[in-house]
Each structure stands twice: as structure tokens, then as C-alpha cells.
Amino acid sequence: RITRGLATEASSSRMPPYPKIVRNLEQVRKVLGSDRALTLAEKILYAHLANPEESLLSGTNNGRDIRGKANLKLKPDRVAMQDASAQMALLQFMSCGLPSTAVPASIHCDHMIVGERGADTDLPASIKGNSEVFDFLESAAKRYGIEFWPPGAGIIHQSVLENYAAPGLMMLGTDSHTPNGGGLGAIAIGVGGADAVDALVDAPWELKAPKILGVRLEGKLSGWASPKDIIMHLAGKLTVRGGTGFIVEYHGPGVETLSCTGMATCCNMGAEVGATTSLFPFSPSMVPYLEATHRGHVAKAAAEIAASGPQNLLRADTEAEYDQVITINLSELEPHINGPFTPDLSVPLSKFADTVREKSWPETFGAGLIGSCTNSSYEDMTRAEHLIRATLERDQTLSTFSEAGGIVLANACGPCIGQWNRTDETPKNEDNAIFTSYNRNFPGRNDGNRRTMNFLASPELVTALAYSGTTTFNPMTDSLTTPSGEAFKFEAPSGFDLPSAGFEAGNPKFQPTAAIPDASVEVSVSPTSDRLALLEPFAPFPEGDLSGLQVLYKVKGQCTTDTISAAGPWLKYKGHLPNISANTLIGAVNAATGETNVAYDENGNKSGIPELAEQWKNQGKEWLVVAEDNYGEGSAREHAALQPRFLGGRVIVSKSFARIHETNLKKQGVVPLTFANREDYDRIDACDTVDTVGLYDTLKAGGQGEIQLRVTKRKTGETFLVPTNHTLSKDQSGFILAGSALNLLAKQAQK
């Protein structure tokens, strides 16, 4: 990836407010006692509390027992938004009626750009096709003083790493891979648009204090092993749920051997284990990276803090304790391939060929994709390029990706988010394989085909495999046959962390707009648009418990935010709630029949899920969904909460929730409950009637109280109570009572 649109030294908003953060940390030390050892994540997080005393001492055993218990009310330093989620975030921000954002913010146009034939044709076509939305985002950015990075300027997480992330910073991003910024020592957390709006209007953003998972790195990577393999290996150990409620904090001597962008890759994919975020301590590679990205002033300030004493902001205290520790010896780490269909199915390269045969996975594959926010650094590309050169030099041919038969897609998300017009002849109804250096591999994510098995690997491994076309090829041990019939074996890749002459400032047309609000700029949304629609506030909670809810759907198995609100072609409706709601839950499997997106009403009439929801909405009937584990895993997509709410969904009851999605539901006024007894999942079926018991009182009591569901079976009329658990805080109870967080914020902002 070629870096474009870099900060200039003069950009003061890119300097974290260090004096304030350091002062706040001193305040935290006073509250907790100076002998209390803190992890790095705790230092940065607690130094961003709106009121350290209130958050750290209330109900938490006098500050001793904070992690996993205290509700932190945080004031992040900045916000970043990608184009797809920025639409709804801005529509929400606009309805609060403020003249500018309370903290620096940026918008990055990357998700809505198709990958098909190559950047030169795809980029102009995508700009044309989305001009209404890009114009809306740009005009809103100018009006409210948000930096706007136009289409083609880069993928959000790389632009953030290159311009905004900095050691000790705390930021929110409306995308689940925001933790990428942890590669530069920032606490960067992926949230929904509604959470971003909290920060944009200066309302404290609430987070249950995470536990801290320490990952100790020893040794040094060599040969084919890359930073991606650290997190791929960790994902296999932790599974997609293992990091839930944790911040992953890397430490140990191995940290100093990694490049800044390599550390960013580890943090990026920490989202795949459900972690709140991941981060690295200040390390030597951060200084040249900050300098190469035109932020020498930030490097200097951070280095001074890092040298300011044993308890400084940018490293864990020596005595700090982690809730759990995993040690990885980088010298022994093998390359890994993860997938298909889930990022935690991790297989070491040496066992992959046998696994392919054992599981009857396809032995050939149709595409190898490298890049994305996960792996598009200078180091990644030069390592992949090294392999191509090795091959090509041998054959005396050419030396670039495109000349090697690759297509250079636009500097945007493209196939990673389903914006891929795949042109090879893969049959839709047959299992097939692809390899990518991306981070996510849920069914249907890349090409919309649920039979496509996406195997994740490092860019260099994907590149080498692409030369063989077979899934059983191991470039460390196997040879290829060249067109001239000779055996060819790859040598291990090598690359460069940073370009020796630094990054170029890039094409001026990819620079961001200025962060100066201009009230004279009109932000118009056409009432006839099918892409954008102003938001109507949701009705407040009724005065009493919810009664007569009906089970719309009982979901079997995995239910990601892609399942609830599909991406791909639907991305174009992100700013139009009524239109995008037509995709609600279309990927969900019916627990009774095994069918996908097939719902049955009380009379046995069959329809799609959104169609039945809309029918019930029109009849004034409200509903709930019953689901299994980790409901809403995957992304920060708030549409996955907004859409059910818009169509009349009031409660989701599951075996467990993904953290971001659970918060998003509450912000939109949907009540997330978990079964106190997991087996109760088996006792509720589609079209059963449900009343809540104790919900209203719990909300009125600021989240204190027990909530049960009274279930009446449709078939037998039998009635029973199902005990549930909830995580409603006082503020979140207020959101639900007001109808949504936005209703409450708008009221407060207008005071």
C-alpha cells in the first residue's frame, strides 16, 4: 500500500494532549495510592476518566477490585469514522443540534469502494456510484470541523496509524478493527456510531473496566513467521470468545524486536478474539515510525514521557499484575493458516496439507488477496514483493505485483468487506477456497458466497501459495515447477519496516479537509433519497413492563453482525434505516428447521425474516429474538441494533453477547438479556409469547434488579418463568427509558 495524505508537522491536533493525560494519571495515582502497580492499559484508560474518584472507588472495594467490575466513564481524545458507519453517526450527531464536535474527529472513505478490475477503474466508478453519500459526509465534515479523507486516501486503520494514533492516546473508532492503533501504544477501541456520538458531544463514554490479559513475547521472529502469526496462534488458543472483557497487553523482551506496523497487525486482529482492544508499550520502533510519518514532534514528546521515570504513562509498572498471562516464544513460532469460516480455527503451516486432506477441503483455490487494514504495511508489501522478485528474477521476467499477474485494487476495503465483484468462474453452489491476508473470514464475507472458504494467512504466505494454486503447498518445504520444467523453492521472505527515504506526502487530492467548523456549509439530505434518511426518534419506553412480545425467530448457532445486518450490496443503504432494514437477520439459521432467513408466523405462513418483522411492525406487534452464544460477534455495526429496533424488536435473549453489540443494543433501546440457565434456550420457540417481569422496575432503579421472562407456549398455552441476567448500568437504563441514547443526548445537548 502506498501511503497518501500524511500529516504535516504543523498539525497540532495530531499531538495527543500529553500534559493533561499525565496530570490525570497523577490524579489516578492519588485516588488508588502510589504503591498500586498498574498495567499499561490501566494507566492510559484510567488517565482518561471523566472523574477518577467516581469511577474507581464506587462499589469496587475501595479501588482494589476495579477490573471486570467498575463502570468507567471515559473522555476519549479523538474519534475516527469510516464512510459506512459515519453516515449513521453523523445523522445521529446532527440531531443533537451542536455547532462542532467536542473532540477532534476524522472520516475515512474506504468501505464503499468496490474491488474488481483495479484502482484506476474501480475508484472513479465507486465515487460516481456513491457521490450522494460522499457529498453528504464531506459537507457534514466541513460544517462540524471533522477531517474528511476522500475515497482513495486509504483504509481507516492505516490512515489512523499513520496520522493520529500515538503512545498514550485514547480514541474511539466506528469500526471493530480500530484496535490497530494499539501498534503505536494507543488505547483504540472499536464502537458503534452511537458511542462515537457520545465522544463527539462530550458525554462520557461508558465501559465496564476490562480485565487485562498479558501476552508475554520472548525471542525473535525469523524466516516465514510474521507478526500476523502471533495473533493467528493466539486466536487458536483463545477462540473467538477468549478475549471478551479483556484488553490484550503485549509485553516482554520480544516486543522490542517487532516493527510498529507488525504490532498494529497483532492489535488489529485482537478483535477476532473478542478483546476490547490490544496494545503494545512504547518501544524503539515507534520513534522512526512516527518520524517517517511526519510526526517527529509526537515521537519526541512520547520518548520524553517514556524516559520520565519508572512509573511513566507509556509502560506497565514493573510489579503490574495481569488477570491471565500467555507466553509466546517468537523464535519457535510457526506460520499459521486460520479458517475456514472462523478466525480461531488455527493450523500450523506444517500440518495444513494433512488437515486439508483429512477434512476434504478443496485442494485448489481461486484467489489470493493481500492487503486490507490488517496487512498492508510497507513491511508486508516488501516481504511479499521479495517472494515475487525471487520467482521472477529466476525467470528473468518482471518485478511488480501487477506485472506478476496481480491486480492492484483501490486503496480501500474492497473484497475485505464484500465489495468484490469476483470475476473468476467459481460455481456458487460448490465449496471453494481463497486465501487472504485479511482478518475476518465469516461465511459470505468476501464474495457473498457462503461456500467460499476463506483461509487467513500472512501476505507472504498468501503470495507464495498463489504461485502454487494448491492449498496443500508448503513453501517452507515444497518446490514448484517453473514453466521451463525446473524445480523452484522459495527462500524465506525479507522486507523493510520503513522506506529508507521516508514516506512521501502523496497526492494532494488525497489530503484531508481542515478541522475547522464552518456553519455556512449546508448539509442536505433529500427526502426522496434512497441512500440517506434523517432519523426519527424512537418512542420512549412504556410505563410498565413489556407484554405480548412474540418470538420472531429462534437463531441456531453463530449470529454475527454480518448475519444480522449483511454488508456487501447493502452497504449502500447504511444512511437509510428503512431501506437497510430489509436485510435484517437474513443470514440467521432457523433453529427449528435449519433454514436460513426463513421465518414462520403463528399460522405457519412462510416468509423471509425482515418481511415477517415488517408485517408485525405494521400490525403494531413488538417482538424478540432468541439466540445462542456470542450474539452480535464480529463488528461494531450499530445497524445490527438499529434495524431490529426500527422493525419493532424490543428484547434479544441469548446464551451470551459480544460486548460491542450488547452495548449497541442498549443504546438503541433494545434490552439484551442472557439466560441464567443456558438450557432455557431449548424451552422457547418461534411465535411463543413473552412478557417481561421486573424489567421496568430494574430500569427505574438504574439497572438494579432482576429480570425474568414469562413465556407462554403458542402450541400448548403452557406458561413458565425464565430467569435472565443483564448488564444494564444506570446510564444505559436511562437510554432504554428514553427510547434510545440519542433521545437522552439530544435532550441534554439542547439544555
* Residue 682: active-site member: no
Annotated catalytic residue within 78, 108, 440, 650: 440
Interacting span for ligand F3S (CB under 6 A) from 43-51, 94-102, 411-419, 580-588? 411-419
Question: Where does this chain touch ligand F3S (CB under 6 A) — which range of 62-70, 241-249, 409-417, 593-601?
Answer: 409-417
- Count of other CB atoms within 10 angstroms of residue 677: 11
Task: Find the binder of ligand F3S among 417, 549, 647, 658 (CB under 6 A).
Answer: 417
Q: Per-residue contact track with ligand F3S, 89 to 128, x per CB under 6 A?
A: ---------------------xx-----------------
Chain centroid to CA 355: how far?
29
Question: Shortest gap between Cβ of 82 and ligand F3S (angstroms)?
Answer: 6
Residue 416 touches ligand F3S, criterion: CB under 6 A? yes
Q: Would you say how long the chain is, in residues?
A: 751
Active site residue 110: yes
SS3 content of the chain, % helix, strand, coil (to 5): 35, 20, 45
Query: Residue from 196, 349, 413, 642 that binds ligand F3S (CB under 6 A)?
Result: 413
What would the DSSP string read from start to end of 471-511? TT--TTT--EE-TTS-EE-PPPP---SS-TT------GGGS
Strand partners, 712: 689, 719
Spatial distance between the Cα atoms of 689 and 708, rounded to a whole number of angstroms: 13
The 3-state DSSP class for residue 290 equals: helix
| Residue 456 interacts with ligand F3S (CB under 6 A): yes or no | no
The rounded distance, in Å, linking the Cα atoms of 577 and 597 is 20
* Side-chain half-sphere exposure of 602, counting CA atoms within 13 A: 13
**Contacts of 75 by beta carbon, 8 Å cutoff, 6+ apart:** 48, 49, 50, 103, 199, 202, 204, 205
Instruction: Name the minimum Å distance from CB 673 to ligand F3S.
Output: 30
440 catalytic, yes or no?
yes
**Calpha distance 713→690 (Å, rounded):** 9
Residue among 174, 276, 346, 439 that touches ligand F3S (CB under 6 A): 439
Rg (CA), the chain: 25
Q: Please confirm, yes or no, whether 175 is among the known catalytic residues.
A: yes
Q: Is 635 a catalytic residue?
A: yes
Site for ligand F3S in 149-178 (CB under 6 A): 155-157, 175, 177
- The torsion angle over the Cα atoms of residues 78, 84, 89 and 92, rounded to 10 degrees, is 170
By the rule CB under 6 A, 43 interacts with ligand F3S:
no
- Cβ of residue 376: shortest distance to ligand F3S, in angstroms? 8
Min dist. Cβ of residue 235 to ligand F3S (A): 14
CA pair distance 698, 704, nearest whole angstrom: 5
Contacts with ligand F3S, 351-380, as mask; x by CB under 6 A: ---------------------xx-------
List, as one string, the DSSP characters of 212-224. Answer: EEEEEEES---TT
User: Residue 270 CB, nearest distance to ligand F3S (Å)?
Assistant: 13
Name the catalytic one among 77, 83, 122, 175. 175
Binding span for ligand F3S by CB under 6 A among 90-98, 413-421, 655-663, 714-722: 413-421
Cα separation of 376 and 374, whole Å?
6
Residue 433 binding ligand F3S, by CB under 6 A: no
3-state secondary structure of 562: helix
Active site residue 688: no
* Contact string (CB under 6 A) for ligand F3S, positions 667-686, x = contact: --------------------
Which residues are tagged catalytic? 110-111, 175, 440, 635, 637
Where along the sequence are the contacts to ligand F3S (CB under 6 A)?
110-111, 155-157, 175, 177, 372-373, 413, 416-417, 438-440
